[in-house]
Amino acid sequence: MVRGAYLKKINIPAIFICLLAAFGLLSTTVPGTAAADDINFEVSVESNIIYLGRGSQLNLSFQGARDIPRPELPGIDGFQAQYIGPSTRMSIVNGKMSSSVTHVYSLIPLKAGKFKIGPFSFEYKGDTYKSNAVTVEVMDRSANAGSRAQGRQKTQTDLKDRVFLVMEAGKSTAYVNEIVPLTIKLYVNSLRMRDIQYPEFAHDGFSAGEFGEPRQYREYKDGINYNVVEFSVRIFGMRPGDFTIGPAKLKGNITVKRQRSLFDDAFGHDSLSGFLGAYEVSPIEPASGKSRLKILPFPDKGAPDDFKGAVGDFSFSMDVSPKEVKAGDPVTLKMIISGEGNFDTVNSPTLKQHEGFKVYEPQAKQEGSRKVFERILIPLSDDIKEIPGVAFSFFNPAKGEYRTISKKNVAIKVTKPEKQENITIMEAPLSALKRSGRERFGRDIIYIKESPGKFKKRGEYLYNNTAFLLLQAVPLLIFVSVLAMQKRKEKLRTDIRYARRLSAPKKAKKGIREAQQYLNNSSPPEFYSSVFKTIREYLGDRFHLPAAGITADVVDNALKTKGISEDMLNRLRDIFKECDMARYAPSEFGKTEMEATFNKLKEVMDYLERQKS
């Protein structure tokens, strides 16, 4: 009765109205459901004044939403933009929840001047968002260096004047198959450049060899001192005609210093953290101009019948061994071509005639500035008195003429082979097959017993012996162990990922011990070099990545899908950043900073070893 009276007092319409009000309040405070009109798309830069050789940040912020993906930026005049990552923010003020997402890009200035960035237009899920525009002025410090710099070197207002590529061919006209030296020079001034790769260039109609070891030196060009990296390669035209080579392109990274803002100083960032966060690595791909080459055909006049396309200035020698053989035995004809030219087009010299010989294909071997051909000749009879002469023809491009070097016949002595002995089968005489005497029965025949007789125990049976039974398991255990070891060895040999993963902790411990020694000796350059090598090799082996190409960006992209915590990712980024900065300013790092980096290294590796992925 009391329960029924209580239910009669409940106001059902009032409860319904309260539920509707609560639902309305929730719908107005849940982020991510804002209409397009409520989302503000804003563009801002870290600083409106940037100097050449330094970087800045470009922020694309969407106020009122945090699920908008990264916009695809068009080309920005005067800048190279590289995406860094998103940053989300959520706040509650007076009971109202607001959210935003900011997509951050690094800006690398390419030339001096004033530039307008934006406005940008971005479409997402059928809605169009438009941003504001900002103006950025790029200045060149060398232009304001005063009268001391004037007269010493001219002002460079573009990044392409600081980093550029020059391709030079050794000659503009050449014959088919004639070697043409090609050099590609990278000029760098007042910038830090690293991770330089070998250049690539278009060479349709040409065959190109491998690049040699690059040279490094300094060169004054137009009154400016440049650091030069020179790459050399040899090319040759494969058909006559007019051709264009290039442009040559080269990939690398430049390290630029970020513009420091007053906002950082206002919040008291210390000098070390400001230094470590002040540098950025940005990819760059300078390109050279094109070069024209005219390839001439071989002249028809005076071309020998045995000419096979060899081009250069060569000499030819020949040797025969042995010079006394039996018919059917091999004779080695050794032919040596030496000199300067295109050895890729040098083929075996031609035998003038080879009747009476069985001739095998020559074997070629390149030895520096000479090429050796060895040919096996087998005289078929003792009538052979000499090895036939050999001729080698080539085209000399310096003189524009053909030349043939002939070698005379070489006398040899061929004798008849020894006669083979006839095979004689020896047979036993028939008398030996006859029995020597009368066979006596009873000695060579054993009769079957009709009864086994009385059995007598002679000892304990082995199959009842425990030690004997256990001993039978030893060969099986040995076989299983050998099989397991063989399978493990085979897996280490064929499964590269497994082998690298297995060796990662051992290499890491060795690297940590080495870094500990440099830390104890207070040697920042060697310490950070050891840390950088250790973390790169460990991550490469742990996640089967090429160690030489591991950077902070590569690791960040590779580990995001591995379930690694954001805190550990941040520590990894810090390690790479600190190692990069220590290359250029090791004096800024003391033992306190080295110990902090060392602890991060051990914590990251310990965390990754406990991960199952």
Q: What would the pLDDT profile of 557-602 be if each residue is shown by its tens digit?
A: 777 777 788 888 888 888 888 888 887 777 777 888 888 889 988 8
Number of C-alpha atoms within 13 angstroms, CB side, residue 472? 7
Are 167 and 209 contained in the same domain? yes
Of 370, 394, 415, the one marking the end of a domain is: 415
Q: Is residue 7, in this structure, part of any structural domain at all?
A: no
Are 44 and 88 contained in the same domain? yes
Count of domains forming the chain: 4
Are 283 and 192 contained in the same domain? yes
pLDDT over 60 (residue 538): yes
pLDDT over 50 (residue 86): yes
Domain of 98, in residue numbers: 36-142
Give the separation between CA 248 and CA 250, rounded to whole angstroms: 7
User: Is pLDDT larger for residue 287 or for residue 355?
Assistant: 287
Global model pTM greater than 0.95: no
Share of the chain above pLDDT 90, in %: 23
- Residue pair 48/57 in contact (Cβ under 8 Å)? The answer is no
Are 174 and 287 contained in the same domain? yes
Closest by CA to 73, choosing from 109, 32, 43, 97, is: 43
Give the separation between CA 186 and CA 287, rounded to whole angstroms: 10
pLDDT of residue 131: 87
Closest by CA to 110, choosing from 261, 288, 254, 276, is: 254
Q: Is residue 454, in this structure, part of any structural domain at all?
A: no
CA dihedral sign, ordered 548, 553, 558, 563:
positive
Are 121 and 43 contained in the same domain? yes
Q: What is the mean pLDDT of residues 300-323?
A: 91
Of 89, 107, 142, the one marking the end of a domain is: 142
Are 283 and 356 contained in the same domain? no
Q: Give the pLDDT band (50/70/90) at residue 9.
A: very low
Q: Is residue 473, in this structure, part of any structural domain at all?
A: no
pLDDT over 50 (residue 149): no
Are 132 and 184 contained in the same domain? no
Q: Is residue 464, in this structure, part of any structural domain at all?
A: no
pLDDT of residue 494: 75
Are 530 and 585 contained in the same domain? yes
Q: Is residue 394, in this structure, part of any structural domain at all?
A: yes
Is residue 190 exposed (0-12), middle (13-18) or buried (19+ Cβ within 10 Å)?
Answer: middle
pLDDT over 80 (residue 132): yes
Give the separation between CA 47 and CA 583, rounded to whole angstroms: 27
Are 321 and 389 contained in the same domain? yes
Of 89, 109, 142, the one marking the end of a domain is: 142
Q: Is residue 575, in this structure, part of any structural domain at all?
A: yes
Poorest-pLDDT segment among 2-16, 96-110, 315-329? 2-16
Chain-centre distance for alpha carbon 87? 32
Give the separation between CA 61 and CA 118, rounded to whole angstroms: 13
H-assigned helices in 61-194:
none
pLDDT of residue 315: 94
Tell me which range, 50-54, 105-109, 227-231, 544-548, is most confidently predicted by mean pLDDT: 227-231
Are 113 and 78 contained in the same domain? yes
Q: Is residue 285, in this structure, part of any structural domain at all?
A: yes
Q: Tell me the CATH number at 336.
A: 2.60.40.10
Are 185 and 113 contained in the same domain? no
Are 64 and 124 contained in the same domain? yes
Over residues 201-233, the pLDDT tens digits come to 999 999 998 998 999 998 888 888 899 999 999
- Provide DSSP, 259-277: PPPHHHHHTT--HHHHHHT
Give the separation between CA 237 and CA 239, rounded to whole angstroms: 6
- Residue pair 57/46 in contact (Cβ under 8 Å)? The answer is yes
Q: Is residue 451, in this structure, part of any structural domain at all?
A: no
Over residues 322-373, the pLDDT tens digits come to 989 998 899 999 999 999 999 999 999 988 777 888 888 899 998 888 999 9
Q: Tell me the CATH number at 212.
A: 2.60.40
